[in-house]
């Protein structure tokens, strides 16, 4: 039953009183969602799981999205509001939601996406029946009316699925449209996570004002620390691909944000004593990520950005240490086309010394 109210939370609040503990908390960062926000919030409101809360993190919107969110919260107490005092962007806004969530499980939605009514009831039911820390499902990508499926392989044990998913994440595989592949592990809103898993292991999103691909970094930690991952081969989430999506912007693939990602993953693998185990995969991934940033540089800055780009990469000690593995294991370069091999020799400091 819907209840009246308008719970208002700021970033400095640490205690929230709630009469009922929800089974699932869904965190939705909201900036300037425009026309898409109503579809998103309506799809949440129609969820068949009743013991659920929706934490709308208002990240300083300027287009009236905050007014729409407030209207939903006024008419339905399952919607709770957090007001960021400054524009924190997606990663830190999600962290605010995690901190204030009360659900046994936590999920995420983007403000311009939507999900089927039964999504979180199905995911939660599977989590309980499988005693899982994480439940992952398929998702759709929708662009200009065309719907594309991203799914995962079936027939694996929970342990095998988790191991393959982690390997795909550390390898930096690109998603494959209309496929059942572990390559499709690059998103987080098709899953729910046990909140205790996140809190006990301090799994939060990095600040994506400083570091890109925050979803991948978050997932690496999740799939390393989770005791059990369950795959539900069904599709409920619809990612609406718009021109406002982060990965369509220059900064998303910029080298100034890609290098910190590589550094953080290197630290994580080292601290958890698995760098050697995944050394080759991480080396290949590093070159792919830097090459992606290089293409992004050419797209937006043309030839003007090449020299500063190369200097920045060559001066990064973490990246240069990772690239040394190519000289120790030359077979790794055979995975690349001649253009990327040439690019490696261009950015590798050891080849110019």
Domain locations in the chain? 8-247, 250-351
Residue 337: strand, helix, or coil: coil
No. of helices (H) and no. of strands (E), the chain: 12, 11
Residue 205: other Cβ atoms inside 10 A:
23
Encode pLDDT of 260-308 as tens digits: 999 999 999 999 999 999 999 999 999 999 999 999 999 998 888 899 9
Percent of the chain with pLDDT over 90: 86
C-alpha to C-alpha distance for 63 and 352, rounded to whole angstroms: 51
Displacement of CA 85 from its chain's centroid (Å) = 23
Of the listed ranges 42-51, 53-62, 238-247, 333-342, the least confidently predicted one is 238-247
Its CATH class, for the domain covering 8-247, is: alpha beta
Does pLDDT of 5 surpass 90? no
Encode pLDDT of 30-88 as tens digits: 999 999 999 999 999 999 999 999 999 999 999 999 999 999 999 999 999 999 999 99
Instruction: State the pTM of this model.
Output: 0.92
Which residues are CB-neighbours of 44 under 8 A, at least 6 positions away?
A: 26, 28, 54, 79, 109, 115
For range 5-17, the mean pLDDT: 41
Main-chain dihedrals φ then ψ at residue 136, nearest 5 degrees = -120, 140
Which residues are CB-neighbours of 19 under 8 A, at least 6 positions away?
A: none
Handedness of CA 247, 248, 252, 254 (dihedral sign): positive
Contact 25, 103 (CB under 8 A): yes
Q: How confident is the model at residue 349 (pLDDT cuts 50, 70, 90)?
A: confident
């Amino acid at each position: 039953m819907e209840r009246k109210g308008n719970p208002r939370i700021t970033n400095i609040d640490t205690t929230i009183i709630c009469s009922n503990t929800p089974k699932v908390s869904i965190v939705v960062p909201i900036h300037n969602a425009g026309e898409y926000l109503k579809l998103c919030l309506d799809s949440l409101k129609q969820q068949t799981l009743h013991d659920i809360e929706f934490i709308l993190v208002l990240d300083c919107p300027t287009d009236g999205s905050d007014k729409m969110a407030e209207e939903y919260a006024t008419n339905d107490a399952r919607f709770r509001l957090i007001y960021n005092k400054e524009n924190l962007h997606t990663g830190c806004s999600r962290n605010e939601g995690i901190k204030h969530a009360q659900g046994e499980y936590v999920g995420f939605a983007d403000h311009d996406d939507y999900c089927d009514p039964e999504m979180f009831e199905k995911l939660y039911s599977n989590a309980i029946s499988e005693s899982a820390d994480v439940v992952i499902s398929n998702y759709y990508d929708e662009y200009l009316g065309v719907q594309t499926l991203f799914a995962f392989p079936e027939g694996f044990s929970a342990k095998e699925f988790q191991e393959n998913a982690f390997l795909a994440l550390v390898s930096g595989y690109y998603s494959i449209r209309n496929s059942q592949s572990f390559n499709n592990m690059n998103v987080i809103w098709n899953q729910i996570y046990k909140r205790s898993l996140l809190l006990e292991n301090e799994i939060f999103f990095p600040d994506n004002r400083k570091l890109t691909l925050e979803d991948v970094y978050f997932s690496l930690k999740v799939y390393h620390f989770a005791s059990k991952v369950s795959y539900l081969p069904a599709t409920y989430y619809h990612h609406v691909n718009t021109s406002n999506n982060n990965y369509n912007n220059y900064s998303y693939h910029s080298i100034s944000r890609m290098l910190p990602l590589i550094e953080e993953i290197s630290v994580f693998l080292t601290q958890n004593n698995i760098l050697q185990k995944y050394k080759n995969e991480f080396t290949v991934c590093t070159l792919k990520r830097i090459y992606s940033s290089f293409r992004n540089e050419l797209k937006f800055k043309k030839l003007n950005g090449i020299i500063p780009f190369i200097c920045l990469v060559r001066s990064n000690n973490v990246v240069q240490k990772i690239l040394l593995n190519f000289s120790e294991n030359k077979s790794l370069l055979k995975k690349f086309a001649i253009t990327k091999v040439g690019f490696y020799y261009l950015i590798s400091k050891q080849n110019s010394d």
